[in-house]
A and B are shown apart, each in its own frame.
Chain A
Amino acid sequence: MLHWLWLVPAFPFAGYLVLALAGARLSRTSVASIGVGTVGLATLVACGVGLSFIYSPPVNHTYSQTLWTWISVGNFSPKIAFYLDALSLVMTLVVTFVSFLIHLYSSAFMIDEEGYSRFFAYMNLFVGSMLTLVLADNFLLLYLGWEGVGLCSYLLIGFWYKDPVNGRAACKAFIVTRIGDTAFAIGLFLLFTQLGTLQIQEVMQRAAQQWTAGSSLAVAASALLLGGAVGKSAQLPLQTWLPDAMAGPTPVSALIHAATMVTAGVYLIARAHVLFSLAPSVQLVVAIIGLATLLLAGFSALVQRDIKRVLAYSTISQIGYMFLALGVGAWSAAIFHLMTHAFFKALLFLAAGVVILAMHEEHDMFKMGGLRSRLPLTFWTFLVGAASLSALPLVTAGFYSKDLILWGAWSSPSGSTWLWVGGLVGALLTSLYTFRVVFLTFFGELNHEVSYAPDIRLRLPLIVLAVLSVVGGFVELPRTLGDRPLFSNFMGSVLPALEHVGGDTRTELALQIIAAVVSISGIYLAYLFFLRRRSFATGIAGSTVGTVLRRFWFGGWGFDWLYEHSLVKPFVWLVRANKDDFIDSIYDGIARLNEVFYGLLARTETGKVRWYMTGIAFGAIVAIAIAVFL
């Protein structure tokens, strides 16, 4: 069964090709069946591969499959080859499964759109590229998938291309992530030059053999890879593109900008964990970036009016948690949170999509309200997702994954109280902004009469994802609650377990209780501010300090403004100023000079014999003078 691995990315690519070449001539039904069907087949094959991997594990718990040699020049010989281990298997399953559900959802959600086949072509291309990314056996192929998903993100953000705002957001996303990719590319040049290979496992082995911990090469290499990860995963300082990326259709936000692509940076770091372990200073930077991002984005999420922008900031913030986990060496906790986040964030986006559809493209939460009774299924599933995002204790997946991260931040050798406190503040913010959305959207008075019955293709993914947002956490029960770390054990063949130095089971329990209290009080505060006593919230927001802070947070802490004025505008100015290329004017000058001399010489051609005589006489005198005196 394992040798069918190549079919997993091949199916979506095939779907893409068919839709790209013939999509315009196909009916909507056939477009949907090709688009959803190929991803469904990929999911089935992935499940088969997964089962066979678990029940009859290959040697060393790794399996690789080479399709052909891509390039072979000297010792540079990356192959088109796939590599399967526990990490890439989990990623593959999450990607295929969530993609399939979102494709199914999209087939109904996008039904009235003009570019139906274009949409599915791009989505299939995305799934294929994402699977290539997670299954790549070498960094160059990973880079191919990496750029491929970036391209699809660009194409899908700008899906409604007639509005220049969308186009701008799309270009911004592509260019900002490409800045990170440049660092990534330079990192690859470094790795290959120093280690002589790009095959990921080989790179890790040789790095571990040749580089000592903290050596400058290890630091440089991991810092450069981090640059790529930061861009793709919208972490500080390259986070600005993600909120604008919400210009794309909602299923796109769910799939690309929440569940899969934006977590690619987390995957990359986990994949290269050997390298990062060799560079403790960079790892610390990862943790700090994660912490700073999760806090900043949490505050920004708190003041948004657009429901999708709240979720976008929330995504940035949650990926910040994953970076925090990676930074303290809790590798499998990061991947665990990646998985649960994929479930509940995709769910939240999809449910928000139904709300937006029902509200006729209204995104402003303050114009919603009371939708609980009109959209019951959407409400309940959204509530489950929100609870999971807020890490509601015991019953939600988000609780288990976030708890694992907080525990790692506390107890890891490189962890500290400060990292834990920061994460806890973030947790408070998370449940506060999440339930702000819940109360503003679904509770209170009904602002608009809504009657909308979602199609089964919209409802089914919501239900499945809601179930996963609850049960997805039970694969990893902490020591205090049953002690069944199935997920970490499974990952153990790839990712080293975290050594806990900062406390025993009793501390862990105490910390869990604190986290649980924080989560619930966040929900209560949201209830107080946004449902019970709206005047509280408006009062705080209306005060002088409140207004300033709200504006500042609303605009994403001024990063956009800063980049606009320090980078974009000077660049555009410089480029415009030199539009006609000053070098060309040098050549123009030479040409002009020739014309001037020509004009001067032409003047001597007067036709008057007297002048010519004078000229000849003068010339003769000069010639004689030269002959005599030199």
Chain B
Amino acid sequence: MILAWMIIILLLGGVGAWAANRFSALWSRSLSLVALSIDLVLALVVVASPSRESGTGQWLVQLNYNWIPQFGISFHLGLDGLSLLLVFLTLFLGIISVLCSWNEVREHVGFFHFNLLWILSGIIGVFLALDLFLFYFFWELMLVPMYFLIGIWGHENRIYAAIKFFLFTQASGLLMLIAIVGLYFVHGRATGIYTFDYLQLLGTSMSPAVAMWLMLGFFVAFAVKLPAIPFHSWLPDAHTEAPTAGSVILAGLLLKTGAYGLLRFVVPLFPDAARVFAPVAMVIAVIGILYGAMLAFAQTDLKRLVAYTSISHMGFVVLGIFALNGIAMQGAVIQILCHGISTGALFVLVGALDERIHTRNLDQMGGLWSVVPRLGAVTMLFALASLGLPGLGNFVGEFLVLFGSYRVNIPLTVLATVGIVFATVYSLWIIQRAFHGPMREYPKLRDLSPREVGITALLIAAIVWLGFSPQPVFNIARPSVESVIQNVSEQRQDNPWVVGTLGSSGQGGTP
């Protein structure tokens, strides 16, 4: 039940925050924070005492109610290590989003927080749903409030961006719906049981061609969200035009639902098709890494630049997932978390900068270091995270992905590694253009306020912790990753390493 509460609390909190705006904006902000904190506590409770009676195997907690039994639809939620990590990320970035909108959002504060919390509950639903119909329901639930968030509180070109975002995700979502229904009937015809339940649909036998088409239906939906080349072009507009909180949620969480979908649905439901398709996906991933980085370097709008870096970094996630081995997949998982934190942080910082100098144009910046040194130092740190500096989390993710993908495909791994040089170029470019160089005339600027110092300190602590001691994350994610890998490599006895060594992996944590 605790899982349902996590979703319900956010939904209710959203309504409450909307209503509370009658009293004051502060009430809706605080109420949102309270709702997120309660969820965080619930998530911690799950970690501390996994209720073993309802959980089996990789699942720590499950919840299963009949919903529309005539069609085999149930309200089935389940939480395993992978979902748990992503739920933590969602709540963490949710809190950051509320805090970073404290001053930025001044109109319709109640409705803003309503949308924010409903997006977050949709995202948590996506990470928990174990019924494909329910999954689709949550998938759409994220979409509409996000549309409003961009369209109402966004920047100059917000309506265009909001509609573009909506069309891309909606169109691809429909493809997924077709694939879901297709899978429903394939399974029903084969077994006589018509169900949308994920655990029952696992291992459905079908012809390779059918599997490939259904898999592609899912893949396209998730590839759009990720986004992967060539479905990425909604992203720069949406990220750039969204308010800061919107960008943080888009980059930090919404993109992750795509990666999560690949890990949870594409590979486990269609292991054979995924294996056949893996080389193509890896090529798409590497093109994304290089192409995204090159586009990022070309931009003069700082926010757009950061947006394009997401394409590049999410390429590593796709590469890691489709390398189909334990190391790369663990790398993909931690890259998901680290990208959420580091890019979220960069959007917060760009937002803070925009609040101060009222431009995001790099050509109009320069020498900011001497005016706002703390802002500069923090931006530098996250730019370094973005270029994969060891000691910060992104390095662990990217290198594990590359270590894993090397054994699968050397040329693609080499190209992806070149992407790290590209990342160096655009990251240094940000620092050079905005913070270094001759100082421009600025009106009196404030350095980071205590609230902003608090936000960035949380983000820094997270990224440094993941850089030096990521082992807890691996331990939590291991059962999920293991089951995905075992599933996909069952027929592949020629490479026993993949399963064998994962099974024997040590319990090493921090002493």
Contacts and interface: CB of A to CB of B under 8 A. Distances in A.
Contacts, number: 142
A171 to B, nearest CB: 5
Interface majority SS (helix, strand, loop, mixed), chain A: helix
Interface in B463-480: 468-471, 474
Among A72, A170, A576, the most chain B Cβ lie within 10 Å of the Cβ of A72
Nearest to A587: B233
A162 B471 contact: no
Interface in A545-590: 574-576, 578-579, 581, 583-584, 586-587
Interface string B373-400: 1000100000010000111000010011
B450 to A, nearest CB: 15
Contacts of A182: 417-418, 420-421
A76 interface: yes
Given A158-B436, A161-B369, A147 B421 contact: no
Given A178-B421, A186-B417, A74 B373 contact: no
Given A72-B506, A148-B391, A574 B424 contact: no
B390 A143 contact: yes
A164 B438 CA distance: 7
A80 B413 contact: no
A68 B417 CA distance: 27
Nearest to B406: A189
Contacts of A41: none
A399 interface: no
A161 B295 contact: no
A222 B367 CA distance: 42
A162 B438 contact: yes
Contact of B233 (A164, A170, A581): A581
B327 A584 contact: no
Interface in B228-246: 229-230, 232-233, 236
A579 B295 CA distance: 6
A71 B471 contact: yes
A75 interface: yes
Contact of B326 (A74, A154, A587): A74
A151 B435 CA distance: 17
A73 to B, nearest CB: 5
A244 B267 CA distance: 50
Contact of A68 (B297, B432, B511): B511
Contacts of B399: 140, 185
Given A69-B471, A147-B389, A77 B508 contact: yes
B402 A162 contact: no
A24 interface: yes
A147 B233 CA distance: 33
Contacts of A192: 403, 406
A439 to B, nearest CB: 38
A151 B502 CA distance: 34
Residues of B contacting A: mostly: helix
Nearest to A180: B421
Nearest to A185: B417
Contacts of B66: none
Contact of A175 (B406, B421, B502, B506): B421
Interface string B447-472: 00000000000000000000011110
Contacts of B297: 575
Contact of B407 (A80, A163, A171, A193): A193
B402 A185 contact: yes
Interface in B396-426: 396, 399-400, 402-403, 406-407, 413-414, 417-418, 420-421, 424-425
Given A144-B391, A167-B437, A189-B406, A73 B400 contact: yes
B428 interface: yes
B54 interface: no
Given A74-B502, A189-B402, A583 B417 contact: no
**Interface band, chain A:** 35 or more
A186 B420 CA distance: 12
A198 to B, nearest CB: 9
Interface centre among A70, A77, A140 (most CB of B within 10 A): A70
Contacts of A72: 471, 474, 505-506, 508-509
Contacts of B420: 178, 182, 185
A171 B429 CA distance: 8
Interface string A67-102: 011111111110010000000000000000000000
Interface residues of B, number: 60
Interface in A157-209: 158, 161-164, 167-168, 170-171, 174-175, 178-179, 182, 185-186, 188-190, 192-193
B510 A69 contact: yes
A192 B402 CA distance: 11
B307 to A, nearest CB: 11
Nearest to B398: A185
A221 to B, nearest CB: 12
Contacts of B414: 186
Nearest to A67: B511
Interface in B332-390: 367, 369-370, 373, 377, 384, 389-390
B178 interface: no
A70 B403 contact: no
A163 B369 CA distance: 12
Given A167-B432, A579-B299, A71 B390 contact: no
A151 B383 CA distance: 12
Given A72-B506, A190-B406, A171 B396 contact: no
Contact of B425 (A148, A151, A163, A175): A175
Contacts of A581: 233, 236, 295
B32 interface: no
A74 B233 contact: no
A579 B505 contact: no
B330 interface: yes
Interface string B279-298: 00000000000000011011
Contacts of B506: 69, 72, 77
B454 to A, nearest CB: 15
Contact of A162 (B390, B437, B511): B437
Which residue, A80, A161, A171, A190, has most C-beta atoms of chain B within 10 A?
A161
A20 B457 CA distance: 13
B205 interface: no
A25 to B, nearest CB: 12
B327 A70 contact: no
Contacts of A170: 428
B278 to A, nearest CB: 18
B501 interface: yes
Given A161-B435, A161-B437, A164-B436, A70 B417 contact: no
B389 A151 contact: yes
A80 B424 contact: no
Most chain B Cβ neighbours within 10 Å, of A68, A144, A578, A581: A581
Contact of A73 (B369, B432, B468, B474): B474
Contact of A583 (B233, B331, B413): B233
Nearest to A190: B406
Given A189-B403, A579-B299, A167 B421 contact: no
B439 interface: yes
Shortest 9 CB-CB contacts between residues of A and residues of B: A144-B390, A72-B508, A189-B406, A69-B508, A584-B233, A161-B436, A579-B298, A74-B501, A167-B436
11 contacts: A70-B470, A76-B327, A148-B391, A161-B435, A171-B428, A175-B428, A192-B406, A193-B403, A579-B295, A584-B233, A586-B230
Given A178-B420, A182-B417, A574-B294, 17 more contacts: A72-B474, A72-B509, A73-B326, A73-B400, A74-B502, A76-B400, A77-B508, A147-B390, A151-B384, A161-B436, A164-B432, A164-B436, A164-B437, A167-B432, A171-B429, A182-B418, A583-B230
Interface of B: 229-230, 232-233, 236, 294-295, 297-299, 326-327, 330-331, 367, 369-370, 373, 377, 384, 389-391, 396, 399-400, 402-403, 406-407, 413-414, 417-418, 420-421, 424-425, 428-429, 432, 435-439, 468-471, 474, 501-502, 504-506, 508-511
